[in-house]
Structure 1
Amino acid sequence: MGALNGRTALVTGAGRGIGRAIACRLAAGGALVAVHYGSDETSARRTIEQITDGGGRAFPVHAPFGVPHDIRTLYERFDAGLEGLGEPMALDILVNNAGFNIRGGLDDVTPEDFDQLMAVHAKAPLFLVQQGLRRLREAGRIINISSAATRVSLPSSLAYSMAKSALEALTHMLAKELGARQITVNSVAPGFVKTDLNKQRWSTPENEAAHAALSVFGRMGKPADIADIVAFLASDDSRWVTGQCIDASGGTGL
């Protein structure tokens, strides 16, 4: 019997990379997974196919972030997806994973870049929780995907690092506020993971070797490395852990 049987999960940005790995891992544990995507329907469909091919259950939720009424749109489509499957309008696991990066340091970051990054990495998670609380069941799980960039200085990702730091602050505040409902709130901070988002970091053998050398394990991370940690935080085994940021960088910077 799966550890997550009978639970419903919403994973934002689940079409590719870490988000896809998380969605597939939660589905393998028995959860019904809402696969959120902003624009790439083809990739989201591939995530769903991978889940269903493995015997899991999933449905798509299309809702771009950073546009008017984005959270309202997401939950309307989430609710419609559940209704179509005959499932209750409830949520057990919310994974705030959707993200992207616009590189820029102090001299070239723009207000537009900053606003876009904050909208997706900080604003969307806040209001997903606020507007999702009536759906979130007791002893639910909120898991925010942060970044090791909040503790390791990456001058070329200034605004990105600031947005992820805001997400970690949100993690602490929510853990305190939602504890009375036995809801845990934690974040996971990946380091350099081999995904499309940072393909330039492993596009050549030399680039990959340079980034692999930053980890004590001598390799770059894999999406499954992060997904397994999220699965633990989504399970009953993590019931006594809240308000924490789990470093998932393979020991980068030690």
Structure 2
Amino acid sequence: MDPCTTFRNRWMELALDADRRSAWEQGCEHLTSCSACREWVEARSFQVRALSSLTRRSLPGELSQVVGSDLSEREAALARVLRSLPRMEAPAALDRAVASSLRSTAGVSHTGRGKLDPARSRKSVRALAYETVPPVLERLVDEELAAPGRHLAERFVGGLERVPAPAALDRRVSGLFRRPAPRRLAAALAVAASLVLVWRFAIPREPTFERTLRRVHVQDPGQLGSVARGLVEGLGGGVPSAVNLRPGEER
């Protein structure tokens, strides 16, 4: 480690003890020979004085209550989990083994005063029936071990008091989604009704005529109208074709 790093680490250790730091700086040769460290010490000394001049604030009472509530909730949750575990009675083999061990003489079944024979103890323990851990408890423990920080933060945040939204914000949000909708609907209905009235009464429409064709038997060219006579002359090439019509003949 270079001398500058060693000096600065030692200075940070003594930063909050002004007397010891001053005495150490006076006897430090590196501070006298290194201009970079002197500038560094001046900057850090200013920061230490500024931070030391700040007023100390005590923790709010609400924080202590929240932390205490969170800890009590964790203890209560652990107690509920332990109470939910099934209680197992000691097997009959263990009762018999313990009773036999207690009835045994000190020289045969005991290794010393108040101690059971280790061999019999192991045999008695092997005779015990064991129960597997409940799946729910195993899953909760695995999740807790996988991300302990996240679960701790979730429990802490969940214990915080929920602050309701201000009444002014509630009224403003309610007004945005409730009041304009009927106004827009009424305006749309009024526009639609106006368009229907304009289309019905203001826009002129051509009258519809029933177009029919009639077949007329003409006996005399004089019975034809001027339009029909001109049409016959145009189709027949002249008046003689129309004059040569015989009675009862269709053209």
Relative to the length of structure 1, the TM-score reads: 0.14
Ranked by relative contact order (alpha carbons within 8 Å, sequence separation 6 or more), the top structure is 1
Higher fraction of strand? 1
Higher normalized helix content (fraction of residues): 2
TM-score normalised by L of structure 2: 0.14
Task: Give 1 or 2 for the bigger CA radius of gyration.
Answer: 2
